Amino acid sequence: MAIQLYDSLERRLKPITPSQPDGVIRFYNCGPTVYAPAHIGNFRTFVVNDVIRRLLELEFGPDKVKHVRNLTDVDDKTIRRAREESRPLADVTQQWTVKFHADCAALNCLPPHVEPTATGYIREQVDMIDVLMRKGNAYRAADGSVYFKVSSFEDYGRLSRVKERELQVGSALAGKVTAADADEKEDVSDFALWKAHKPDDGANAWDSPWGRGRPGWHIECSAMSKALLGETIDLHTGGVDLLFPHHENEIAQSQCCNGTTFARHWYHSEHLLVDGKKMSKSLGNLYTLDDLVAKGFSPMALRYALLMGHPRKQLNFMLDSLHAAESAMTTLHSFWQSIPDNVGRADDCDSVFAALHDDLNTPGALGALFTIVKRGPTNISKTAFEKALYALGLKPTAPHTPKVEIPAAITALAEKRWAAKQAKDFAAADALRQELAAAGWSMLDSKTDYKLEPLKK
Footprint of Zn ion (CB under 5 A): 30, 221
Q: How far is the CB of 53 from Zn ion (least distance, A)?
A: 17
- The span from the CA of 236 to the CA of 222, in Å, is 11
CA dist 6 to 11, 91, 356, Å? 7, 39, 12
- Residue type (1 letter), 224: M
Q: How far is the CB of 74 from Zn ion (least distance, A)?
A: 14
Q: Which is nearer to Zn ion, 238 or 299 (CB)?
A: 238
Strand-pair partners of 69 = 29
- Residue type (1 letter), 88: P
Q: How far is the CB of 100 from Zn ion (least distance, A)?
A: 16
Q: Which is nearer to Zn ion, 82 or 243 (CB)?
A: 243
Q: Which is nearer to Zn ion, 132 or 388 (CB)?
A: 132
Q: Which is nearer to Zn ion, 221 or 315 (CB)?
A: 221
Q: What is the separation, in whole angstroms, between the first and last Cα of the chain?
A: 48
E runs forming strands in 219-342: 235-239, 266-269, 272-274, 277-278, 315-317
Q: How far is the CB of 372 from Zn ion (least distance, A)?
A: 38
Q: Which is nearer to Zn ion, 82 or 242 (CB)?
A: 242
- The span from the CA of 232 to the CA of 221, in Å, is 13
Q: How far is the CB of 30 from Zn ion (least distance, A)?
A: 3
Q: How far is the CB of 256 from Zn ion (least distance, A)?
A: 17
Helix or strand run (H / E) with residue 193 = strand 191-196
Q: Which is nearer to Zn ion, 221 or 372 (CB)?
A: 221
Q: How far is the CB of 242 from Zn ion (least distance, A)?
A: 6
Q: Which is nearer to Zn ion, 38 or 221 (CB)?
A: 221
Residues 6+ apart with CB under 8 A from 312: 6, 268, 269, 270, 359, 360
Phi first, then psi, for residue 138 (nearest 5°) are -145, 160
E runs forming strands in 313-376: 315-317
- The span from the CA of 176 to the CA of 170, in Å, is 9
Task: Determine contact, residues 118/34, Cβ cutoff 8 Å.
Answer: no
Phi/psi-derived region of residue 284, left when phi > 0, alpha when psi is between -120 and 50, beta in every other case: left
- The span from the CA of 276 to the CA of 323, in Å, is 18
Q: Which is nearer to Zn ion, 33 or 137 (CB)?
A: 33
- Residue 195: which of 134, 255, 136, 140 has the closest Cα? 140
Q: How far is the CB of 262 from Zn ion (least distance, A)?
A: 11
- The span from the CA of 3 to the CA of 51, in Å, is 12
Q: Which is nearer to Zn ion, 30 or 223 (CB)?
A: 30
- Residue 301: which of 47, 26, 22 has the closest Cα? 47
Q: How far is the CB of 218 from Zn ion (least distance, A)?
A: 7
Q: Which is nearer to Zn ion, 221 or 235 (CB)?
A: 221
Q: How far is the CB of 254 from Zn ion (least distance, A)?
A: 11
For CA atoms 238, 160, 119, 84, the dihedral sign is negative
